[in-house]
Structure 1
Amino acid sequence: MLLAFYRLLARLPLGWLHRLGRWLGLLVYRCSREYADRLRANAALAGYQGEAFAKRAAAAAGEGALEIPRVWFKPGQALAECRTDDWDVVQGALDEGKGILFLTPHLGCFEVAARYYAYRGGPITVLYRPPRKAWVSQLVEGGRRGPNLDTAPANLQGVRQLVRALRKGEAIGILPDQVPGNGEGVWAPFFGRPAFTMVLPGRLALQTGAAVILAAGERLPDAQGWKIHFTRLPGPVPETPEAQAAWVSAGMEKMIRRCPEQYLWGYNRYKAPRGEAPPSM
């Protein structure tokens, strides 16, 4: 039933999806005190304070949720609504032939960035954390896969799949601001507060020599589609996991400040996994 509902949503014009999404985002913001408090607190750490900003961010989160069916199930239409001024960044990495590690934070339409690369650049394998419910996992995996676009589960088998792709000179995609599990991350500053940050991107970059590029799909106003931003992180890759995590976090901060209202400030970015105590500030 959920699959049918997603396919139905995908048929709606993008403007309708965004209007419905704004309503949904504000409804959640008004009904969930915990979510609203976390959104405001996280945004304030980055200097974005006030109720007006918080409501715009909540509305943008709703837009992002309802545009996903269009990207998954009407990819041709979604890709026709994408543009970029940064393809030279990607082309330079492709010419090096060592593979590309795309890091896509929860900013704008993060689902569309990988699909845009798959359409224009070549094969890409995206790491994802399978939902616990099998029927939801089937929806997510089926929606994310497409021509030149594969998925890899967030486990040892999936990591090996990513390494193989990079060794072949292909691209991979990771959401770098997801909170990793115990033993899979280190503490690194994120907008001035320690956040448990995954070490996998740094390890892969150091191991394979792949280019590391931040990618984000900025949502354009008036349902004009998305502008894909690509920014390469400057080398060399730091040696230690702590320095690598800080390197990635600093790059994410710069990308987020391009369109801060479109970041998922309501995500519990600063939670501590079981057994991990945050460092004293």
Structure 2
Amino acid sequence: MLTLFRILSRLPLRVLHAVGAVAGWLVYLASPSYRARFRAHVQIAGLPWAAARGGIQEAGRMIAEVPWLWMRPHDVPLGDKLQWRGAELIEQGLVAGRGLVFLTPHLGCFEICAQAFAERFSASGPVTVLFRPAKQAWLRRVIDASRGRPGLETAPATLAGVRQMIRALRKGQCVGLLPDQVPPQGLGVWADFFGRPAYTMTLAARLLQQTGAMPLLIWGERLPKGRGYVVHVLPAAPIAADLPAESAAAIINQGMEEMIRLAPHQYLWGYNRYKHPRSLDIGVAPAAEPRQEA
């Protein structure tokens, strides 16, 4: 598999996206359960089918672009494959020195956001992204090599990883995570997502509440025909330090909804967002620590 990844990583992005689009439709047509879940989630969101249907091929493109993203040489810049919208919000946040928490849904190419930050803003410090370690040894090696880029650090979804992110924020650095990912039992609360209760992580809000960091919404738009990506940065609603977990999760879910409505054709509608959480296997998030005043 590692050899296959290396071969695929050398193909032009437009070829990978074209193959991925076909693969996305093949999976959709071949899997009744996936097809039913995809359609049900679009219906729950109250969106017209025409607006979200493109997500079928975009899901395939998301998988097909992984070798290109993960195995791209570290010294090769994204160049004309990358555009920014709203980068000034990051610049303002870095000047404030409070630390930044990037909140990204399963929308477009979420992998590109951290790479784009590392390429443009690494002089201000690295961005630390939360990830769940792969079970396969070969895949762990690929991920470690990819996400261990200059200006990009990783934090495993464990107690140690959470502490790593808190330390980064208290240094005024940046962290990123996907708050619409279903956490294990005990690490979330039930909060509405498109009007239906979904088990929602509390980690994103707790990072903000414990450190006083600034939240920002960010997502990577996938351009057609392999032209590259546009990283969009948007302001996020603040989370008060004394806000209950359920209320904080609801605010973050609303932010995710706002981004998804901007480009529903690039959301991963097949993701099982409303599933019941698995049993706890990544450790318990740390108890609230006293805020350190500047």
TM-score in terms of structure 2 length: 0.88
Instruction: Determine whether 1:264 maps to 2:262.
Output: no
Q: Give the alignment of 1:115-126 within 5 angstroms.
A: 115-122=115-122, 123-126=126-129
In structure 1, runs of 5+ residues without a counterpart are 277-281
In 1, Cα distance between equivalents of 2:209 and 2:19: 43
Match for residue 129 of structure 1 among 132, 135, 144: 132
- Report SS of the residue matched to 1:271: coil
Q: Give the alignment of 1:135-214 within 5 angstroms.
A: 135-214=138-217
In 1, Cα distance between equivalents of 2:118 and 2:212: 21
The one-letter code sitting in structure 1 at the alignment partner of 2:96 is E
Identity %: 47
In 1, Cα distance between equivalents of 2:215 and 2:193: 19
- Report SS of the residue matched to 1:269: coil
- Report SS of the residue matched to 2:146: helix
In 1, Cα distance between equivalents of 2:64 and 2:163: 32
In 1, Cα distance between equivalents of 2:173 and 2:79: 20
The one-letter code sitting in structure 2 at the alignment partner of 1:207 is Q
In 2, Cα distance between equivalents of 1:54 and 1:257: 10
In 2, Cα distance between equivalents of 1:237 and 1:218: 30
TM-score in terms of structure 1 length: 0.92
Shift of residue 21, structure 1, vs aligned partner: 0.3
In structure 2, runs of 5+ residues without a counterpart are 281-294
For residue 22 of structure 1, what is the aligned residue in structure 2? 21
Query: CA 1:34–1:49 in 2, change beyond 3 Å: closer, same or farther?
Result: farther
For residue 284 of structure 2, what is the aligned residue in structure 1? none
Q: Is the Cα contact below 8 Å between 1:186 and 1:241 reproduced in 2?
A: yes
Shift of residue 182, structure 1, vs aligned partner: 0.6
Q: Give the alignment of 1:1-281 within 5 angstroms.
A: 2-50=1-49, 55-74=53-72, 76=76, 78-122=78-122, 123-237=126-240, 239-274=243-278
In 2, Cα distance between equivalents of 1:113 and 1:72: 13
**Stretches of 4+ moved more than 6 A in 1?**
none
In 1, Cα distance between equivalents of 2:172 and 2:219: 22
Shift of residue 133, structure 1, vs aligned partner: 2.7
CA RMSD of aligned residues (A): 1.7
Deviations 1:114-135, CA, capped at 9 Å, x for gaps: 1101111121111101122333
Query: CA 1:79–1:181 in 2, change beyond 3 Å: closer, same or farther?
Result: farther
Shift of residue 236, structure 1, vs aligned partner: 4.4
Q: Is the Cα contact below 8 Å between 1:79 and 1:116 reproduced in 2?
A: no
- Report SS of the residue matched to 1:121: helix
Deviates more, 1:253-262 or 1:128-137: 128-137
Deviations 1:80-135, CA, capped at 9 Å, x for gaps: 41111201111111111011111111110100001101111121111101122333
In 1, Cα distance between equivalents of 2:177 and 2:37: 24
